Amino acid sequence: MLTSGENLPDLAAPDQTGQPRALRELLGERGGIIYFYPKDNTPGCTLEANDFQSLSGEFARAGYAVIGISRDSVKSHAGFCAKHGLQFTLLSDGEGALCVAFGVWQEKTMCGKTSMGIVRTTFVVDAQGRVRRVYENVKTKGHAALVLAELGG
């Protein structure tokens, strides 16, 4: 997994409109909040996305862009954004290159079954693309507010 002090990988992926976007071009004046989540329109992922959306203005005022990433398709992301009024960028990592580069594609066990999947993780990145903080195994409730508070927002 990427750790504090490491640089963002030089990768791009399509956003919810299908436009290819490089990670670095999405950063705000002070950086970005890049969060990886397992699946669009599931309860935990919806709660997390809605929390980031409700605080997106405060993140923007603090100079940080919010970027969500999952392996869902562009079409799924477009529907997720429309259904929940999400105004921030969602990247479709269908091939999993971003998940692997960030180290969030890991073995998981659910109900006794082991499979590979995205481990819910958030990276705070500065404007130069350097990781400043990593939140691993994120619990969705209150996570966006915690990140904002720790940024001083």
| Dihedral angle over CA of 68, 117, 22, 13, nearest 10 | -100
The C-alpha atoms of residue 59 and residue 7 are separated, in whole angstroms, by 21
User: Any idea what the Cα angle at residue 64 is, between residues 58 and 68, rounded to 5°?
Assistant: 95
Within the chain, residue ranges assigned H as helices are 43-54, 56-61, 74-84, 97-102, 143-151
Contacts of 95 (CB under 8 A, 6+ apart): none
Active site residue 45: yes
Question: Could you list the active site residues?
Answer: 45
